[in-house]
Amino acid sequence: MKKILSEKALELKPSATLAISAKEKELKAQGVDVVGFGAGEPDFPTPEHIREAAKRSLDRCETFYTPVGGTSELKKAVARRFAEDYQLIYSPDQVVVSCGAKHSLYNIFNAIIDPGDEVLIFSPYWVSYPEMVALAGGKPVLVPTAEERGFVPDVDEAASLITGSAKAMLINSPSNPSGVVYPSEVMEGLAALAVKHDLLVISDEIYDKLIYGGRKFTPFASIVGMRDRTVTVNGVSKTYAMTGLRIGYLACTNVQLVKAATDIQSQSTSNPSNPAQAAAVEALTGPQEEVERMRQIFERRRDLMTGRLREIPGMSLVKPAGAFYVFANVSAFIGKKGIMNSTDFAKYLLDNHHVACVPGGPFGFDQHVRFSFATGEEVIAKGLDRIRAACQELR
């Protein structure tokens, strides 16, 4: 029999975050008391008014196909949210709704990339970015950042990696896994690079409502001259605790890209879930008080986790300004008890102290691990006690 799998399928790496979550669930099913710091989703229940909207949609028997790129009601709601929150004006026909922000990114890459096209990605990066670029036939160009600079990109270093094959630049601020929020001068420097080298900017802004320390979020498209060069990706998963409903969206002014993304979606998944879209309309247009309440709780959890981690000898970190992750440097423990990299460290924590975290290797930093603080303060405190004990053993 001929070889079944394609080369790109064979080269594809599985999601490290989903693998850790699966192992954590397996242990919990066996009755093991595992503290989970691996999850990339809020632990809050989806707000009641959003759940009720989904129920009403089902009661109306809205269980059939919608337009491929989303209902007109949801597209209008997305456009309204951009206008009210950031004074960015998009018409509903400049919005494509997909099955999560990840799906939106997948559609974009497949719409813009020809074989060999390069996409700049800043490291540490979300694990799926390079894989999605490669699946579309492109080449991810990884732009390193440094913990000493707070994981903020160096514009000159990014410029040095741009070649004639560069097609796009991918920005994720607030970042998964580092929680870094790019300063305005860095954003403007990257914008100037995009103009100089005629690059499309893909801005993943899924954590835009989770910002701490009194900072304000700046959409990349709001930078002067960037609206028509930027594709903004967002969704309802993180802001409204709706990860499983799988609603994301893109917004851009390029009608060719909007049409291409819609056509690609039409030949793969077709429309997102009808009742989930109704829930998303309610999320975007209904009361927003829960968003701020959840943000404040996340900020308290961030302060608790970062404070306790910094008390552990050998552990260092950059305090995140957004999202709900701490990207901790564990290099002091590498080389101890057979631990050779971040995967070994994460395995040691899980196997010996029943704490789940995500190794930093798949994010591009193999001496770090990612801890999520999307869990209760009591759980965080218990988990940090275990992490401290593990690190004492290793030292």
Digitized pLDDT (tens) for each residue of the chain, 395 residues in all: 888 998 888 888 777 667 777 888 888 899 999 999 998 899 999 999 999 999 999 999 999 999 999 999 999 999 999 999 999 999 999 999 999 999 999 999 999 999 999 999 999 999 999 999 999 999 999 999 999 999 999 999 999 999 999 999 999 999 999 999 999 999 999 999 999 999 999 999 999 999 999 999 999 999 999 999 999 999 999 999 999 999 999 999 999 999 999 999 999 999 999 999 999 999 999 999 999 999 999 999 999 999 999 999 999 999 999 999 999 999 999 999 999 999 999 999 999 999 999 999 999 999 999 999 999 999 999 999 999 999 999 98
| Res 16: pLDDT | 66
Distance CA 108, CA 1 (A): 35
Place of tokens 């967002």: 234
> Do residues 253 and 90 touch, judged by C-beta distance below 8 A?
yes
Domains and CATH numbers, the chain: 7-45+290-394 (3.90.1150.10), 48-285 (3.40.640.10)
| Res 17: pLDDT | 66
Place of tokens 């899980």: 350
Please give the span between the terminal C-alpha atoms of the chain, in angstroms, as a whole number. 53
Distance CA 207, CA 172 (A): 9
